Every structure is written in structure tokens, then in C-alpha cells.
Amino acid sequence: MPSLCRDCARPAEDDRSVCPHCGSGRMLSHPELFDLSIAHIDCDAFYASVEKRDNPGLRDLPVIVGHPGGRGVVTTACYVARKFGPRSAMPMFKALALCPDAVVIPPDMAKYKKVSAAIRALFAKATPLIEPVSLDEAYLDLSDGVRLIDRTPAVLLVRLARAIERDVGVNVSVGLSYNKSLAKLASDRDKPRGFAVIGRAEARHVLSELPVTAIHGIGKATARRMAEAGITRVEQLQSLPEAALVARFGKFGRALSHLVQGDDPRQIVADRPCKSVSTETTFSRDLSALPPLAKALEVLAFALEKRLKRAGLAGETVVLKLKTADFQSLSRQSRLSYPTQRADVLREHAMHLLEREADGRAFRLIGIGVDHLAPAESADPPDLFGARRFG
């Protein structure tokens, strides 16, 4: 079986547990190792790792990145902290109850962006086809004719992971497969500092053992609906014909019938154009009265205008996002007859939506965004009545 040393990146003749070249025990073996070229690379506990890198005294301590204080949530928990239970998106008070000794560090997004850019620069040496998902993860297409270095994708990835550790100072986990869903699934199977491979021969079987939420596109709501029908494992979905899935889940059923068989037609798209721009804020105390909600919205509308202007964009649909005290998210939208980037227009439309929702419920978060983006030149055509407001 093809093997590869994860330390010296040299292939081995046969299936060995120790590298014949460097003596490392980190050997990677898989029948399809040299035949796969779609990768998902995910930084391990990214924000926390960056903080540890910059402050070595923290190395063995439980570190949580997130806003301290009553309302904050965990952005990232390092692997030391995770042993005690804290996870991303967990309310900070809960995380600290589980892990009272944790060092809490407020996020420094500017720093993480810089680190992320350094990682992306390393990716760019391997392939131009990089699809970033967030600051700390990306898909890479290393297929023949795409990749820039004449090595097998697996060797390239091992070198890349090593370079990121050495030059940037954070660890990554790599998933290698033949499509995006499976590559993503793989990167999650051997964390941290992992390298997992899912080949064509095993994909269906690997999927069959997973809960339905492992499938791209099945979120909480769909999973709940499936559970009501007694479906909790991918295996059960695999046994249903496409027609049955379509009958039950509509249009998504079609995509689902392929995904559960390990078939994912989505291509890796470099520099996916941005589809929406938004900004939001979490309150220090839940708010239910309209005036303070309106005030928060106004501030956000100006922030959104600034963002849109900087990006040279305008949006034709205004989206209001709210999260209730019990974590129910809701979003409402209003379509304009032209794209806008003006704070007063954004605010006016979002206010109109907010007035209908502010019925006494307590909200913990409010956000405003735009969809249906258009270039700034087409924004806010002149109006017959000059000012937007009259009457």
C-alpha cells in the first residue's frame, strides 16, 4: 500500500509503521494515497494557537479566546481547554464553569487575519485554486494541470502542513479525498495535527457510519425533521432511492441522494465572489424595547455603509437579523427597487422590518446586512424628490 512519511515527506516502499528514511513514526498509508487531489486544510484551534505562539508561557495552559464577561461566547478553545468541555460558541460563563482555570483572551481579529494571509500565501505556492471558507480553513484543488508543483498532491500537502508549522507557527489538519464534502469530513477525522484520507472505495462505507449531520447541507432543522421520521444515520439515507428523498426533502433531496453516496459535484472556486455584506452586535443585556434596538440598528447601518463603500458594493436587499434571548435566529428582508449603500436607506428599511418583530420579545443580538450585491456605480440613483424622506 502506498505510504508517506509525514515528517520528511518521502514515500515509502510498502506499508511501514516507521519511516525508513528519517525514523519518524508518523507514517501515512492508504491504497488511494497518490490518486486523490482535493484537500481541505483546517487550522487546529486557530485563534488559541496563534495566542499560544505569541506567548509561549501559555503553551500548556487551557486557553479560551472569546470576549470575557457575562455575555461573551467562546470563539476558540485550545486542545488543553477542550479536555474540560469548553467548545466554540459555548457561552463564556458555561465554559468557565467547566474549566475555571482557563486563560481567557479577547480575540484580536487583525492579528488572525495577518496569520491567515501568511498561510494563504503558502497555499498559493501549491495551487491557484484555493477556496477559503473562513480565516482558518480552505479547500485546495491539487489536480493534474492545476497544481503548480510537480509532486503528488499527498506529498505537497505534507510539505505544506510542515511549512505552516515551521514558518507560521500553527498546526493544521489535512483532509484528502476526491471531492469537497469528503475532504472536509477527512480533515475532521484526525485532529489535531492530523492527515486523513478518504478514498473512492471506502467513501460510501465511511459515510454510512456517520450521523446525518455529517452531510453538507443537513443542519439542525433538517436533522430534527429527519429524526422525527426516525432517520439519524447516513446509512438510512443511503438506502432510500432518489425519488423518496426528493419526495421528503424537496429539491435538496436530489443533492442529498448524491451526497450520501459520496458524490459531491461542487467545484472548488477560487475567490468566490462575495454574496452579501453584513454586520451585527450582541448586546451586553437582552433588549426588547424598540428605542434601544433602533439605536443599535442605526449604529450598525452606518458601519454597514462604511463597509459597502470600502468594498465598492451596494445591495438591493436589506436583511435584518435578530437572535432572541433563547437563541432563536430570525432574519427578515426587504427588497428595494435599486441597490443602495446609504446608511439612512439601510436603516429605514431595517427599521421597517424591526418594527414588526419588536413585539416585546427579548433579543440578544441584532444585525443588518445586504444581499443581491451590485457595483457601487449603480447605487442610489438620483431621486425625483431629492432627499429620501418626505411626506
What is residue 35's DSSP assignment?
T
The binding site for Mg(2+) consists of 42, 136
262 binds another protein (CB under 8 A): no
Q: In degrees to the nearest 10, what's the CA dihedral of 81, 86, 89, 91?
A: -120
349 binds another protein (CB under 8 A): yes
334 binds another protein (CB under 8 A): yes
C-alpha–C-alpha distance, residues 288 and 359, integer Å = 8
Q: Between 242 and 383, whose beta carbon lies closer to another protein?
A: 383
C-alpha–C-alpha distance, residues 69 and 329, integer Å = 22
Binding mask 278-317 for another protein (x = CB under 8 A): --------------------------------------x-
Q: Between 2 and 315, whose beta carbon lies closer to another protein?
A: 315
Q: Which stretch binds another protein (CB under 8 A): 47-55, 146-154, 305-313, 345-353?
A: 345-353
133 binds another protein (CB under 8 A): no
Total interface residues for another protein by CB under 8 A: 20
333 binds another protein (CB under 8 A): no
**CB of 345: closest distance to another protein in angstroms?**
8
Measuring CA to CA, how many Å separate 224 from each of 67, 214, 255? 31, 14, 19
Q: Between 295 and 388, whose beta carbon lies closer to another protein?
A: 388
359 binds another protein (CB under 8 A): no
Taking CB atoms within 8 Å and a gap of at least 24, the contacts of 252-260 are: 252/217, 252/222, 255/217, 256/215, 256/217, 256/218, 259/181, 259/215, 259/216, 259/217, 260/207, 260/215, 260/234
144 binds another protein (CB under 8 A): no
Q: Between 221 and 384, whose beta carbon lies closer to another protein?
A: 384
Q: Between 331 and 378, whose beta carbon lies closer to another protein?
A: 378
Catalytic residue among 51, 137, 165, 235: 137
Tell me if residue 298 is catalytic: no
SS (H, E, C) 106-158: CCCHHHHHHHHHHHHHHHHHHCCCEEEEECCEEEEECCCCCCCCCCCHHHHHH
381 binds another protein (CB under 8 A): yes
348 binds another protein (CB under 8 A): yes
Measuring CA to CA, how many Å separate 28 from each of 3, 52, 152, 291, 385? 5, 28, 14, 60, 69
Measuring CA to CA, how many Å separate 214 from each of 112, 158, 185, 281? 27, 25, 7, 30
**Residues carrying an active site annotation:** 137
Binding site for another protein (CB under 8 A): 316, 334, 336-339, 348-349, 352, 374-375, 377-378, 381-385, 390-391
